[in-house]
């Protein structure tokens, strides 16, 4: 039987035992079916000698683990860590450094952009990872021995991958990987304010200024409501549904209910609020509505700007010897375009700087990026 760490004293003792370790394999188990934030069900830790399965439902003092994760002399190794980072943030762990993501390491080595954990283990060790407990309810108690064994194996298999990946990576790739780990952590601290969340809606650039005003109100309300209720955004309204509401701008509950593919249960619950938000946006003066684009005298067009930036990224990737998919994903490209053209100069000063212009990406991309004349970088 694999024991669980249930109390603060046991967690503190474990953290003290591993304080001098140089590598810690880390994984989490969580539930995220209907909530905005992941619900931690288990934390797995292994430093090559000491295994710990930590029960986050009973621990109240996370400071010892916070200190371990912030220890710059101990590499924290995770696989595909995006959601793990979010899960750790729910218990106050917001600094994980140095962070070594084995999936990103495989990407840098040219083994694929999203290599799964089981595939990576099999490639390096020829061992097969049991994934039979993937659908376990990790918030249920007690956890069965087979569930604890399954969870423990994630870090027991993860730990020995480090040396192989380190040997395969050259010095430049190793440095880049750790820098990207820092960027992943910083990303979680730099959220787009609710009033600008509409910029993230697919194809929102196609809407008129008035339609954007409606979309802005709806998206902001959804974000606030989802945060208040801890609900997944799509369970309130999906992006495509908000986009359709912004285009149609219904003025009555009847017309609202007649829009195809709208969730009737949510319309019954929120219909009155949706109509109020739409009417509020309709009543705004024109200069209070979002513009589609700013500095249009220098704007060559949305698709043309996207094509120009995409070409710049590909050229930088080729000449710098970095995978284009590692250097940039679509979210980052859209973030740059929005920051350059879809907000005013005053608004831009209040928003997070795009990832293209921060950290290692800035050094790689800035000589290639088309930077608009109205932006000082």
pLDDT for res 249: 97
Same domain, 37 and 134: yes
Same domain, 36 and 92: yes
Residue 7 falls in the annotated catalytic set = no
Domain annotation covers residue 90? yes
Same domain, 87 and 166: yes
Domain annotation covers residue 373? no
Same domain, 86 and 107: yes
| CB crowding 194-217: b at 16 or more within 10 Å, else e | eebbbbebeebbebeebbbbbbbb
Catalytic-role residue among 14, 27, 198, 336: 27
Ordered mean pLDDT values, 10 residues apiece, the chain (377 residues): 90 98 98 94 97 97 98 98 96 97 96 94 93 88 94 96 97 96 90 96 98 98 97 96 97 92 91 97 97 94 97 97 94 97 96 96 97 91
Same domain, 275 and 301: no
Catalytic-role residue among 14, 29, 47, 217: 29
DSSP state of 52: E
Cα 260 to Cα 244: distance, rounded to the nearest angstrom:
10
Other Cβ atoms within 10 Å of 234 Cβ, number: 14
Same domain, 239 and 131: no
- Domain range for residue 88? 4-189
Domain annotation covers residue 22? yes
Cα 187 to Cα 194: distance, rounded to the nearest angstrom:
16
Same domain, 24 and 152: yes
DSSP state of 354: P
Element (DSSP H or E) covering residue 41: strand 39-46
Q: How far is CA 366 from CA 13, 70, 172, 333, 360, in A?
A: 47, 30, 19, 13, 10
pLDDT for res 191: 87
Q: What is the CATH number of the domain that holds 101?
A: 3.30.420.10
Same domain, 80 and 145: yes
pLDDT for res 133: 81
Same domain, 150 and 124: yes
Residue 154 falls in the annotated catalytic set = yes
Q: What is the CATH number of the domain that holds 355?
A: 1.10.150.80
Residue 47 falls in the annotated catalytic set = no
Collapse the DSSP code of 208 into the 3-class scheme (helix H, G, I; strand E, B; otherwise coil) and give the result.
Answer: coil
Other Cβ atoms within 10 Å of 172 Cβ, number: 12
> For the chain, what is the domain count?
3
| Predicted model pTM | 0.93
Catalytic-role residue among 47, 55, 84, 101: 84
Same domain, 159 and 13: yes
pLDDT for res 188: 83
Catalytic-role residue among 47, 101, 150, 198: 150
pLDDT for res 377: 87
Domain annotation covers residue 181? yes
Domain annotation covers residue 370? no
Q: Which residues pair with 40 in a beta bridge?
A: 30
Same domain, 168 and 284: no
Q: Are 88 and 37 in contact (CB under 8 A)?
A: no
Same domain, 336 and 233: no
Domain annotation covers residue 234? yes
Q: Are 54 and 4 in contact (CB under 8 A)?
A: yes
pLDDT for res 130: 85
């Amino acid at each position: 039987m694999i024991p669980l760490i249930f109390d603060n004293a046991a967690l503190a003792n474990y953290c003290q035992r591993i304080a001098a370790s140089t590598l810690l394999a880390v994984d989490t188990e969580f539930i995220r079916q209907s909530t905005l934030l992941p619900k931690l069900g288990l934390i797995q830790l292994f430093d090559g000698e000491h295994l710990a399965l930590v029960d986050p439902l009973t621990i109240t003092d996370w400071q010892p683990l916070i200190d371990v994760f912030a220890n710059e002399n101990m590499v924290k190794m995770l696989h595909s860590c995006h959601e793990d980072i979010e899960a750790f943030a729910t218990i106050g762990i917001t600094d994980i450094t140095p962070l070594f993501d084995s999936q990103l390491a495989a990407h840098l080595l040219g083994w694929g952009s999203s290599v799964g954990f089981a595939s990576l283990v099999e490639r390096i060790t020829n061992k097969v990872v049991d994934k039979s407990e993937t659908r376990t309810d990790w918030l249920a108690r007690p956890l069965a021995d087979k569930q604890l064994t399954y969870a423990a194996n994630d870090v027991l298999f993860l730990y020995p991958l480090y040396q192989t990946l380190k040997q395969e990576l050259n010095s430049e790739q190793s440095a880049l990987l750790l820098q990207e780990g820092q960027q992943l952590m910083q990303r979680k601290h730099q959220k787009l304010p609710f009033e600008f969340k509409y910029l993230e809606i697919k194809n929102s650039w196609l809407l008129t200024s008035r339609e954007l005003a409606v979309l802005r109100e709806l998206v902001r309300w959804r974000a606030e409501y989802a945060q208040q209720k801890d609900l997944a955004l799509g369970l309130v309204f999906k992006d495509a549904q908000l986009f359709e509401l912004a285009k149609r701008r219904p003025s009555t509950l009847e017309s609202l209910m007649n829009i195809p593919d709208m969730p009737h249960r949510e319309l019954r619950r929120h219909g009155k609020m949706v109509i109020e938000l739409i009417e509020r946006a309709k009543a705004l003066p024109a200069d209070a509505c979002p513009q589609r684009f700013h500095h249009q005298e220098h704007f060559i067009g949305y698709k043309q700007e996207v094509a120009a930036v995409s070409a710049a990224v590909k050229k930088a990737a080729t000449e710098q010897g970095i995978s284009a998919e590692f250097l940039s994903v679509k979210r980052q490209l859209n973030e740059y375009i929005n920051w350059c053209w879809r907000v005013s100069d005053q608004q831009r000063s209040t928003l997070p700087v795009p990832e293209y212009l921060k950290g290692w990406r800035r050094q790689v991309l800035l000589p290639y990026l088309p930077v608009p004349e109205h932006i000082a970088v």
